[in-house]
Amino acid sequence: MGIFVVKGLFFFLSILFVILSDQWVKLEILSHFDYGESVRVFQNFFSITYVRNTGAAFGFLATANPSFRVPFFLVVPIIAMVVLGFLYRDLPQDARVRSMALGLVSGGALGNLIDRVRLGYVVDFLDFHYKNEYYFPAFNVADSAICVGVAILLLSTMTKREIDHASYPV
């Protein structure tokens, strides 16, 4: 298999995996939970809670005027996809890890964009908290993929050693 094919596979399979898993889990939440319903998984730590997020990551801009917020959150992901496409294009042919990382970010952005177009909001459900006093904003699979992808990209940028060429034990 050619190097370009491998680079492309890492990128496009990452996108496909994130979109399919994100949308499947969100469909399960929409099918089995009422809005605001919560099921405790680990007491004082983690629940599955159906939340509608009209803002960005972690509810940022959720209270902004809809005449600004709605177009903003439809246009920004499209611009992000164009930027990610250029970053992918400029990757070396053997940059498997960074290709996968860009795929994670792209898949996450597309997963949340699908929600915004289809529902007018993003379905969030992963609810971490400490003793019902300290809450981390609810998030979803797409948000997780974006964060992991960005972390991999930052790590690969900050390290002197190229992680795409690292030898992995079999």
Residues annotated as catalytic (active site), given as ranges: 124, 143
Selection from 111, 59, 57 nearest residue 81 by Cα: 111
Q: What are phi and psi of 113, to 5 degrees?
A: -65, -40
In this structure, what is the dihedral angle of CA atoms 49, 54, 58, 60, given to the nearest 10 degrees? -160
* Alpha-carbon dihedral sign for residues 17, 29, 146, 75: positive
Distance (Å, rounded) from C-alpha 25 to C-alpha 167?
34
